[in-house]
């Protein structure tokens, strides 16, 4: 089966691109081209936005009842459920996510997200009547925000796409999706499912392209809202454009999350948890707990346990079910992570396991050695900057107050965990750390609850009723004149 594509998805049809350039999708494992797709141009974006604008301004989608939209999205969800294996395989092929993670999170989680948003939409207060302060009732409506520019990253492409597409559709919005150039293939499969589900023409349009074309989409006057997941640096630029245009925006950005290991924590249980939460998707995850905080009394014990855990994780072919750490998405990302490993040593941190160089047994692919640093100070760049790879820093703390201080001493505030035998002590820490999501002896995302970050980790929330509300505007209607 060839993975090449020659068209874009615009106005409900497969449309020829206006340019001749193509995006080569390269396997991070073999470094070989696995597919070619058209590279969208500004003219393609214009056509996609025009289609979305027409669909919103005069098409049927906005004018359907919430129940009618829910029915179409449910059809999409049912079709999606039948393609989970194919979707997971595509994502492993295009970005190197270990197949174990792809079949756990890259496709099942987006499907669960769709189902969750459907249930939320069924109970959502699309229109409510409340008593007014002047004596008469007031009708409060939630109406769709309009045309949405959805821009996901490459690390969890469907997860971050569906977190935008599902609530936007249920709210009655129309969408222009710009997949990352590293991971365009999954969006083609999604487009086929949307089409089969009966989503009207122009409601979802898909144009894969690079950064410059993405900037054209963000600034397009036909776009009412931008929903972006990606780097904090890119998020700042997008926020600036949206602020100048008074365009709605939601940003899910970077993280440098801390896992606090309290002295009473069971180390075996903690290491089982950190095996996933610290190194999920080969460390290419914004919520990864890459700062491990251990007390000075237990520091050496935690470092040794973490080193043994990381050293035991199989590195290699992402298509092998036994693999836990796969390649970086691109050569530039491999080089970025290696530079941080070298920087950590220059800063005085000690490599306990890993370090620069290809993992044993591998002579091709964009791999790095999973690395644990000890003797890390929280002021070091490896402790402050998002590396986005399998690199962990173990930082010592004096007491619980000091651990909370260190966890909060970050430009980011996306996620975090605390590991302890005392549930109440863990909840106390959770309430004190300034992060949008937090786990006690676990880390997860419940799609019924809001997800997002404090500080430089973003603006707004995804998931839950709060995530659906991001795609609506409030309107107050006064059905009668108030008594004066």
Per-residue model confidence as pLDDT tens digits over 212-258:
999 999 999 999 999 999 999 999 999 999 999 999 999 999 999 99
DSSP per residue, 261-287 = E-TTS-HHHHHHHHHHHTTGGGG--TT
CA angle, 332 then 337 then 342, to 5°: 125
pLDDT at 481 over 90: no
Length of the chain counted residue by residue: 484
Report DSSP state, residue 103.
I
Q: What is the pLDDT of residues 169-188, one digit of tens each?
A: 999 999 999 999 999 999 99
Identify the band that residue 206 occupies on the pLDDT scale cut at 50, 70 and 90. very high
List active site positions. 252, 286
Identify the band that residue 87 occupies on the pLDDT scale cut at 50, 70 and 90. very high
Give the separation between CA 6 and CA 15, rounded to whole angstroms: 9
Cβ atoms within 10 Å of 328's Cβ, excluding its own: 25
Residue 135: what pLDDT? 86
How far does the chain reach from its first CA to its final CA, in angstroms?
Answer: 72
pLDDT at 294 over 60: yes
Q: Please, are residues 434 and 391 in contact by the beta-carbon 8 Å criterion?
A: no
pTM value surpassing 0.75: yes
Residues 6+ positions from 431 with CB-CB distance below 8 Å: none
CATH dotted code for 8-253+457-477:
3.40.605.10
| Coil vs helix vs strand at 393 | strand
- Mean of pLDDT values over 404-427: 98
Residue 113: what pLDDT? 98
Give the separation between CA 194 and CA 12, rounded to whole angstroms: 9
Whole-number CA gyration radius for the chain: 23
Strand partners, 267: none
Residue 441: what pLDDT? 97
How does the average pLDDT of the chain come out, rounded? 97
- Mean of pLDDT values over 300-323: 98
DSSP per residue, 115-129 = HHHHHHHHH--SEEE
Give the separation between CA 95 and CA 87, rounded to whole angstroms: 12
- Mean of pLDDT values over 17-39: 97
Q: What is the pLDDT of residues 183-199, one digit of tens each?
A: 999 999 999 999 999 99
Give the separation between CA 471 and CA 225, rounded to whole angstroms: 8
Strand partners, 323: none
Determine what percent of the chain is predicted with pLDDT higher than 70. 99
Q: Which two tokens stand for residue 236?
A: 């700042």
Determine what percent of the chain is predicted with pLDDT higher than 90. 98
Residue 483: what pLDDT? 55
Residues 6+ positions from 70 with CB-CB distance below 8 Å: 118, 121, 122, 170
Residue 480: what pLDDT? 77
Q: What is the pLDDT of residues 119-129, one digit of tens each?
A: 999 999 999 99
Residue 2: what pLDDT? 62
- 169, 174, 14: which is closest to 76 by C-alpha? 169
> Residue 71 to residues 113, 169, 196, 198, 244: CA-CA distances in angstroms?
16, 11, 13, 10, 37
Give the separation between CA 56 and CA 146, rounded to whole angstroms: 7
Q: At what angle do helices 84-95 and 185-197 cross, to 10 degrees?
A: 160
Identify the band that residue 21 occupies on the pLDDT scale cut at 50, 70 and 90. very high
Q: Please, are residues 471 and 163 in contact by the beta-carbon 8 Å criterion?
A: no
Any idea which residue has 């007014």 for tokens?
132
Give the separation between CA 269 and CA 265, rounded to whole angstroms: 8
Give the separation between CA 432 and CA 405, rounded to whole angstroms: 9
Can you name the CATH fold of 258-447? Aldehyde Dehydrogenase; Chain A, domain 2 (3.40.309)
Q: What is the pLDDT of residues 134-161, one digit of tens each?
A: 889 999 999 999 999 999 999 999 999 9
Q: Where are the domains of the chain?
A: 8-253+457-477, 258-447
- Mean of pLDDT values over 345-371: 97
CA angle, 459 then 471 then 154, to 5°: 60
């Amino acid at each position: 089966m060839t993975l090449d594509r020659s068209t874009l998805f615009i106005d409900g049809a497969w449309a020829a691109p206006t340019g001749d350039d193509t995006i080569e999708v390269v396997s991070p494992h073999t470094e070989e081209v696995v597919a070619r797709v058209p590279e969208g141009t500004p003219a393609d974006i214009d056509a996609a936005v025009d289609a979305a604008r027409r669909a919103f301004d005069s098409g049927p989608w906005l004018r359907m009842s919430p129940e009618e939209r829910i029915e179409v999205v449910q059809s999409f969800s049912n079709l999606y459920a039948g393609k989970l294996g194919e979707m997971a395989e595509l994502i492993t092929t295009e970005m190197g996510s270990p197949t174990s993670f792809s079949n756990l999170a890259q496709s099942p989680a987006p499907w669960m997200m769709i189902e969750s948003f459907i249930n939320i939409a069924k109970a959502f207060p699309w229109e409510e009547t409340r008593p007014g302060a002047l004596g008469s009732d007031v009708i409060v409506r939630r109406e769709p925000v309009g045309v949405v520019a959805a821009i996901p990253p490459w690390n969890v492409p469907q997860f971050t796409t569906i977190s935008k597409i599902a609530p936007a559709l249920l709210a009655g919005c129309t969408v222009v999706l710009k997949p990352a150039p590293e991971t365009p293939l999954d969006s083609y499969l999604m487009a086929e499912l949307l089409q089969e589900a009966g989503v009207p023409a122009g409601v979802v349009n898909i144009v894969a392209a690079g950064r410059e074309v993405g900037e054209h989409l963000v600034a397009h006057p036909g776009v009412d809202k931008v929903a972006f997941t990606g780097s904090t640096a890119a998020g700042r630029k997008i926020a600036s454009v949206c602020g100048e245009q008074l365009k709605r925006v939601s940003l899910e950005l970077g993280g440098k999350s801390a896992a606090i290991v309290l002295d009473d924590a069971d180390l075996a249980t903690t290491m089982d948890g950190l095996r996933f939460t610290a190194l999920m998707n080969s460390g290419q995850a914004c919520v990864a707990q890459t700062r491990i905080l251990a007390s000075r009394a237990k520091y050496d014990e935690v470092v040794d346990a973490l080193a043994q855990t990381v050293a035991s994780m199989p590195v290699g072919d992402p298509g092998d079910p036994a693999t836990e750490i796969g390649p970086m998405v691109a050569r530039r990302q491999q080089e970025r992570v290696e530079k941080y490993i070298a920087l950590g040593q220059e800063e005085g941190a000690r490599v306990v396991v890993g370090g620069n160089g290809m993992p044993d047994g591998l002579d091709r692919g964009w791999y790095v050695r999973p690395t644990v640093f000890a003797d890390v100070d929280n002021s070091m760049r490896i402790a402050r900057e998002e590396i986005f790879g399998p690199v962990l820093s173990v930082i010592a703390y004096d007491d619980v107050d000091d651990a909370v201080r260190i966890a909060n001493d970050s430009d980011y505030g996306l996620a975090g965990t605390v590991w302890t035998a005392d549930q109440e002590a863990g909840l106390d820490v959770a309430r004190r750390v300034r992060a949008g999501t937090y786990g006690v002896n676990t880390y997860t995302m419940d799609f019924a609850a809001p997800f997002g970050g404090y500080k430089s980790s973003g603006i707004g929330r995804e998931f839950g009723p709060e995530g659906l509300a991001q795609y609506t505007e409030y309107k107050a209607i006064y059905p009668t004149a108030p008594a004066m």
